């Protein structure tokens, strides 16, 4: 079995974007019976207080627990003896799947699990919230038209909360300052309400925790209705903006 090493230094993107790239590379190596050298990713600073990160993603995911079709998929540590199988090149939109080599791969079930410490912190927050609704409010880079702007405003968020009447609400957002008036409402919480979350200085790490807080919520609400592209179409109970979008 040959080793596969890819240079991704031309791609600077967010964690979800890079996780998608990792998944595609894993799929390619699995299908072609290749040993994957742990890729190195650049997480841009746009979502992390302008602090870019160079990482193999092991801070966020249990790389030893990755499975493909239910079986463990091993990633290998890099070594100077390994040369790049695919050298530095550009990818449309920073997505590996746009390259002809990675297109039209057969479907396989890939699971990239979060690190245990991330899950444990999320469980701690979840237990303190008790029965709660989690709402992901994606503003900033996803305000592409007037209607999305309206749908992600505090008034519409409160309308959605009143419809479901949860005991507590946790809001995860990339624009906390634009929703600060909600923090004055009893039983609505942001990460800043929890000391063990507020002290985290890596927003990508916090994002992973909040994804799991969403997972453990009794009621899950997304910004966009992406059922047309979601494999798990019933994961979310409601949406702020009822048109397809990017999570």
pTM of the full structure: 0.92
pLDDT at 241: 85
Domains and CATH numbers, the chain: 3-111 (no CATH), 116-241 (3.40.50)
pLDDT at 149: 85
> Is it the case that residue 234 has pLDDT exceeding 70?
yes
pLDDT at 141: 57
Quick: pLDDT tens for 171-219.
999 889 999 899 889 999 999 999 999 999 999 999 999 999 999 999 9
Please give the full DSSP string across the chain, using - where no structure is assigned: --EE-B--TT-EE-HHHHHHHHHHHHHHHHHTT-EEEPP-EEE-GGGTTT--EEE-STTTB-GGG-EETTEE--EE---TTPPPSB-S---GGG-GGGSGGGTTPPP--EE-PBPHHHHHHHHHHHHHH-SEEEEEE--GGG--SHHHHHHTSHHHHHHHHHHH--SEEEEEES-GGGGGGGGGSTTEE-GGG-HHHHT---HHHHHHHHHHHHHH-SEEEEEE--TTT-SSTTS-SEEEE-S----
Quick: pLDDT tens for 117-156.
999 999 999 999 999 999 999 876 555 568 888 888 999 9
Q: What mean pLDDT is predicted for residues 39-65?
A: 96
Rounded to the nearest integer, the mean pLDDT of the chain is 92
């Amino acid at each position: 079995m040959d080793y596969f090493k890819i240079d991704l230094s031309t791609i600077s993107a967010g964690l979800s974007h890079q996780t998608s790239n990792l998944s595609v590379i894993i799929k390619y190596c699995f299908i072609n019976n290749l040993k994957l050298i742990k890729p190195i990713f650049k997480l841009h600073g746009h979502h992390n207080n302008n602090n870019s990160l160079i990482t193999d993603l092991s801070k966020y995911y249990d790389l030893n627990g990755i499975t493909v079709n239910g079986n463990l998929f091993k990633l290998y540590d890099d070594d100077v003896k390994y040369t790049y199988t695919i050298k530095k090149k550009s990818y449309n939109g920073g997505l590996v799947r746009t390259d002809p080599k990675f297109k039209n791969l057969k479907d396989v079930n890939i699971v990239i699990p979060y690190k245990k410490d991330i899950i444990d912190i999320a469980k701690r927050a979840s237990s303190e919230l008790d029965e709660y609704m989690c709402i992901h409010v994606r503003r900033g880079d996803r305000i592409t038209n007037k209607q999305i702007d309206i749908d992600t405003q505090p008034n519409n968020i409160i309308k959605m909360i009143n419809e479901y009447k949860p005991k507590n609400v946790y809001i995860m957002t990339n624009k906390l300052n634009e929703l600060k008036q909600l923090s004055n409402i009893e039983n609505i919480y942001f990460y800043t309400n929890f000391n063990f979350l507020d002290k985290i200085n890596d927003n990508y790490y916090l994002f992973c925790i909040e994804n799991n807080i969403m997972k453990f919520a009794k009621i899950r609400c997304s910004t966009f209705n992406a059922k047309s592209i979601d494999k798990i179409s019933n994961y979310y109970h409601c949406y702020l903006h009822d048109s397809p979008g990017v999570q």
